[in-house]
Structure formats: structure tokens, C-alpha cells
């Protein structure tokens, strides 16, 4: 029955009545903010911030599988977050080191 | 020595991900502190606002998760402070925190 499945989700230990649901759900906001920032000029990207986003995403993907209750919502949001961080770092690195060939003397 | 051993072997100690997850999150605090020295034009409103809500929620998460994670709690409390400060710097640069005109409307 669909109703009992919904009930099972509603009452889940990591479900919508708990912080185990809302904290990770809100964490999607960081990835969404980062995706919105894909259109920002690379000069405005912050290396420290994006390194933090990437590393946090990778480590927390692991963390979310060993806490109680196990949290797949948290797992997925961190995987995506790491992905957005890697993309932003790639954008900024490409801009800083691989595109202004005319002004910068040859780098190895 | 005994205290160190207790920490080293703790269920939330450095041999476990319950330690390294929060350590990774200190990266946000460090990045935030570094970014306080940069011009406010570089601050991302979207990201900073998201961080403020995120750290607020995760302070609660750190308290309720099993095992309870004080390191994570302190980390997010610190991040909340840094991100709120950055948000205020952004707002000030945008003109949102101007003093009211003497000929105030209300």
C-alpha cells in the first residue's frame, strides 16, 4: 500500500520530523548556490572556499555512511557538493593558468 | 599520556571519520577567515547566506547525531559567526546597513 510506504518514510529515524532530514536537505543550498555561481566571472571565485567545499564534500560522503542513523540524503548532497567544488576549481584554475597566454611568459 | 591515549582510541577520535568529517568542515571556517581580508566585492551573497542557514542547522545535527559530535558543534558555531560577519560585510558594501536619514519616514 502506498500509504504505509509514505508512513514508513514519514516516521523514519532520518525522516522529515528530525534534524537528520532538514540539515542535509538544506545543505543542497550550498550546491545550488555554487551552481548559481557557475556564471560568476572566475576572478571572483575564492580558492580557499572552493577547496573547502570540495574536501568537505568528499570526506562527508564517507561520514554519512558511518553515523547513526545512516544518511543517504546526506551522502548524495555531499557527492554533488564535491562535484560543484571541483568544477569551480577547474574554472578558476583554467582561467588563471591556461588562458592568458599572451600576457604571461611561458610557464612550465 | 593517558588523556592522549583516551583521545586517540576514542570512538570519535582521529582513527574515525567522526573526527575527520568535522575537521574537513573547519575548512569553511578557515576559508571564511581568509576571505574576511579580501574586498567585499568578492563575497558571494548566495553562498554566504546558504552557509549561515547550513551551519545553524548543523549545530543542531551535531548535537542530535549518534555519536554526539562536539567537535562538529564547535566548528559550525564558529562558521556561523564567520559567515554572518561576511554577510554583514557584503550588506554594508551594498549599502543595506546605511544609517537612517535624519529626516526619517517613521
Contact A62 B21 (CB under 8 A): yes
Q: Of A78, A27, A74, which Cα lies nearest the Cα of A57?
A: A78
> Is residue A108 scored above 70 in pLDDT?
no
pTM (2 d.p.): 0.78
Residue A72 binned pLDDT confidence (cut-offs 50, 70, 90): confident
pLDDT at A65: 84
3-state helix, strand, coil in chain A (%, to 5): 70, 0, 30
Q: Cα(A56)–Cα(A98) distance, rounded to whole angstroms?
A: 27
**Whether A38 contacts chain B with CB within 8 A:** no
pLDDT digits (tens, 9 = 90+) for B33-70: 999 999 999 999 999 999 999 999 999 999 988 888 89
Q: Cα(B91)–Cα(B94) distance, rounded to whole angstroms?
A: 5
Residues on chain B bordering chain A, Cβ-to-Cβ distance under 8 angstroms: 16-18, 20-21, 23-25, 27-28, 30-32, 34-35, 38, 41-42, 44, 46-47, 49-51, 53-54, 57-58, 60-61, 64-67
Contact A67 B41 (CB under 8 A): no
Q: Cα(A89)–Cα(B72) distance, rounded to whole angstroms?
A: 25
DSSP A40: S
> Is residue B101 scored above 70 in pLDDT?
no
Contact B17 A30 (CB under 8 A): no
Bridge partner list, B66: A68
**Whether A106 contacts chain B with CB within 8 A:** no
**What ipTM was assigned to the predicted interfaces of this complex?**
0.70
Q: Cα(B95)–Cα(A18) distance, rounded to whole angstroms?
A: 38
> Is residue A25 scored above 70 in pLDDT?
yes
> Is residue B106 scored above 60 in pLDDT?
no
Which residues make Cβ contacts (< 8 Å) with residue B98, sequence separation at least 6? none
Amino acid at each position: 500500500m502506498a500509504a504505509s510506504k509514505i508512513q514508513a518514510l514519514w516516521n523514519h529515524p532520518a525522516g522529515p520530523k528530525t534534524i537528520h532530514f532538514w540539515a542535509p536537505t538544506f545543505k543542497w543550498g550550498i550546491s545550488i548556490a555554487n551552481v548559481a555561481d557557475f556564471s560568476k566571472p572566475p576572478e571572483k571565485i575564492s580558492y580557499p572556499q572552493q577547496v573547502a567545499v570540495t574536501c568537505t564534500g568528499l570526506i562527508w560522503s564517507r561520514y554519512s555512511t558511518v553515523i547513526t542513523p545512516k544518511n543517504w540524503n546526506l551522502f548524495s548532497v555531499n557527492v554533488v557538493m564535491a562535484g560543484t567544488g571541483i568544477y569551480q576549481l577547474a574554472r578558476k584554475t583554467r582561467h588563471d593558468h591556461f588562458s592568458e597566454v599572451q600576457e604571461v611568459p611561458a610557464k612550465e | 599520556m593517558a588523556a592522549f591515549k583516551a583521545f586517540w582510541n576514542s570512538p570519535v577520535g582521529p582513527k574515525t571519520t567522526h573526527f575527520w568529517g568535522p575537521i574537513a568542515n573547519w575548512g569553511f571556517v578557515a576559508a571564511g577567515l581568509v576571505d574576511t581580508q579580501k574586498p567585499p566585492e568578492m563575497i558571494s551573497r548566495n553562498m554566504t547566506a546558504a552557509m549561515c542557514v547550513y551551519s545553524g542547522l548543523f549545530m543542531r545535527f551535531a548535537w542530535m547525531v549518534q555519536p554526539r559530535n562536539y567537535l562538529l558543534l564547535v566548528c559550525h558555531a564558529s562558521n556561523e559567526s564567520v559567515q554572518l560577519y561576511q554577510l554583514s560585510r557584503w550588506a554594508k558594501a551594498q549599502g543595506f546597513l546605511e544609517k537612517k536619514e535624519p529626516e526619517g519616514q517613521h
